[in-house]
Amino acid sequence: MMLIWLYLVALGVILSLAAALWRVWRGPARADRMMAAQLIGTGGVALLVLLAPLQDWAVLDVALALALLAALAAVGFVKATTPDGAGDPEETSPDLPADTAPVADPRHTQGTPHG
């Protein structure tokens, strides 16, 4: 009974991976594609953990490596999408129109007295 349950859950994870692959392929934005790629990494780890008791427990080492690579891919994406590569999510991009750029509020600057 447990074997059937593991296979059914693994099938659900595979369906989730198929939906994530569709999102990577279709977009619409780079951030959507990156989030889908993160879902693929997470789903891959889940699938390997589910199949480890059925195959070989050494598969857990592969799952750990895949989880590490997925985390590093997210860091690389954030650093690559910022203008200077610093990874600051609040930094404005040069390709944004001027009216969508965040404007600093002078009341919230440090070191200035509020009057």
Q: Write out the chain's pLDDT in tens, 115 residues.
A: 778 888 899 899 999 999 999 988 887 888 888 888 888 889 999 999 988 888 888 889 999 998 898 888 888 887 777 666 666 656 665 555 555 545 555 555 555 555 4
Placement of tokens 């009057």 in the chain: 115
In sequence order, the 6+-apart residues with CB closer than 8 A to the CB of 47 are 10, 13, 14, 17
pTM to 2 decimals? 0.62
Query: Domain ranges in the chain?
Result: 8-79
